[in-house]
C-alpha cells in the first residue's frame, strides 16, 4: 500500500504544481498526479520516456494488452504481472510505484489512455502544438518543410508555441490536404469539394 500512499500525497499536492493543461476523466486524473510527482522530482523527461516505452510494449504485445484490459483477472494477478514487465525494463521507482497504484486501484485497463494523457501534458509543458496533415500519399521532405514553415507563421499558433507536424496517409480524401490543429479542421481535400458539389446539385434539382 506504500505506492497508494505516495500517489495519494501527489494527488493532494497536485494543485501546488503548475499543470500546463487541465485534463478530465480517470486517465486525466492519474496522468496529472503523475505529472505533478515527476515535476517535483525533476524527472518529467525520464517518466515521459518510460511511459512511451511501456506504451510501445503494450502496442506490440496483444496478450499483454488483453491481460491489462480484461476485467475478470483479479488485481493481485495483474499487479504481479505488471511488476514482472516493469522489472524486465528497469524502470524508475516513480514509474514503478505509479503502475503499482494503477494495479491496486484496478485501473490498469486505463494504461494506454494514461500514457496518451501524460503525453498531452508534456506537449503542453513544452509549448508544443500538434498538427496533423492528412494527404493521399506521404509528403516529400521539401513540401513537408514548406508546409511546416507556413503553418508555424500562421495565426493558428500563438506566440512562442512550437509546431509539431505529422503526416497521415488517407487515400479516401482523393487529393488535397486536411489539416487538424486541436479541435480545428481545415479541409482542403478533393473529397470535401466533391461532397459540397453533390449537395449543391441536389439542392438545385
> What is the sign, positive or negative, of the torsion defined by CA atoms of 36, 37, 41, 42?
negative
Q: How far is CA 162 from CA 21, 146, 147, in A?
A: 16, 15, 14
Same domain, 194 and 104: no
Distance CA 131, CA 128 (A): 9
Same domain, 118 and 19: yes
Contact 156, 181 (CB under 8 A): yes
Is residue 17 classed exposed, middle or buried when 0-12, 13-18 and 19+ CB atoms within 10 A define those classes?
middle
Q: Which residues have C-beta within 8 Å of that of residue 16, sequence separation ≥ 6?
A: 36
User: pTM for this one?
Assistant: 0.71
Same domain, 80 and 179: no
Same domain, 89 and 169: no
Backbone angles phi, psi at 132, to 5 degrees: -110, 125
The residue range of the domain holding 45 is: 2-124
Residue 129, helix vs strand vs coil: strand
**pLDDT, tens digit, for every residue of 115-171?**
999 999 999 899 888 899 999 999 999 999 999 999 888 888 888 888 989 999 999
Same domain, 107 and 137: no
Same domain, 107 and 153: no
**pLDDT, tens digit, for every residue of 43-67?**
999 999 999 999 999 999 999 999 9
Amino acid at each position: 500500500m506504500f505506492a497508494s500512499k505516495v500517489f495519494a500525497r501527489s494527488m493532494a499536492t497536485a494543485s501546488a504544481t503548475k499543470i500546463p493543461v487541465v485534463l478530465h476523466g480517470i486517465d486525466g486524473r492519474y496522468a496529472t498526479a503523475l505529472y505533478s510527482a515527476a515535476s517535483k522530482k525533476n524527472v518529467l523527461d525520464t517518466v515521459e520516456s518510460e511511459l512511451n516505452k511501456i506504451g510501445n510494449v503494450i502496442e506490440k504485445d496483444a496478450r499483454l494488452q488483453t491481460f491489462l484490459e480484461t476485467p475478470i483477472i483479479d488485481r493481485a494477478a495483474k499487479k504481479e504481472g505488471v511488476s514482472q514487465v516493469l522489472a524486465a525494463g528497469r524502470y524508475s521507482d516513480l514509474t514503478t510505484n505509479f503502475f503499482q497504484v494503477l494495479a491496486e486501484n484496478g485501473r490498469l485497463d486505463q494504461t494506454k489512455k494514461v500514457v496518451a494523457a501524460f503525453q498531452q501534458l508534456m506537449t503542453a509543458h513544452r509549448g508544443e502544438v500538434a498538427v496533423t496533415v492528412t494527404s493521399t500519399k506521404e509528403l516529400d521532405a521539401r513540401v513537408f518543410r514548406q508546409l511546416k514553415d507556413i503553418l508555424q507563421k500562421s495565426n493558428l499558433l500563438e506566440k512562442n508555441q512550437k509546431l509539431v507536424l505529422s503526416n497521415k496517409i488517407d487515400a479516401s480524401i482523393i487529393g488535397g490536404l486536411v489539416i487538424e490543429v486541436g479541435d480545428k479542421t481545415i479541409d482542403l481535400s478533393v473529397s470535401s469539394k466533391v461532397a459540397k458539389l453533390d449537395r449543391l446539385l441536389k439542392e438545385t434539382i
